[in-house]
Amino acid sequence: MTESDWQVLRRFHGHLGPWLILGIKIGQAALAAVKARKHFGVEVVAAWPDAPPPSCAVDGLQWGTGATYGKRNLRLEPSERFEVLVRNTDTGEAVRTVLLPTTPGLLRRLLEAYGDEDSSMRVWDMADEELYRIERMAQ
């Protein structure tokens, strides 16, 4: 991402944070995995905690996929789980993203040690496989 991308993200969400960046990464990877059209060709359902900072990932999912609450193609189902279902609405192809069990603790430690900005950059630079796994769903 460029510095201007980071600035737009700060304005959109109000600040940076590792959970926001995690949501972006999940959204972009899942969108690519199902080859969905950003904004209108995708449906996103997050079974996710409904309180900050983990809920900040939902804003990241919005940024990464273009799905929004207003278009009704982004939905949060409050849960203790950390799972995201992304479906291509044109083809029906879907993937489920699940955080690795170590990811919530890792993000908490990064945030405590480095603060919003630096922990965000660290999460952005991490390989997806260090944070979550994507599973194809049967059609």
Tens-place pLDDT, residues 118-138: 999 999 999 999 999 999 998
pLDDT at 3: 85
pLDDT at 138: 80
Q: pTM, whole model, 2 decimals?
A: 0.96
CA torsion 23-24-25-28 (nearest 10°) is 120
Residue 103, C-beta contacts closer than 8 angstroms, at least 6 positions apart: 22, 82, 131, 132
Q: What is the DSSP letter of 129?
A: G
Mean pLDDT of the chain: 96
pLDDT at 22: 98
CA torsion 102-110-1-71 (nearest 10°) is 60
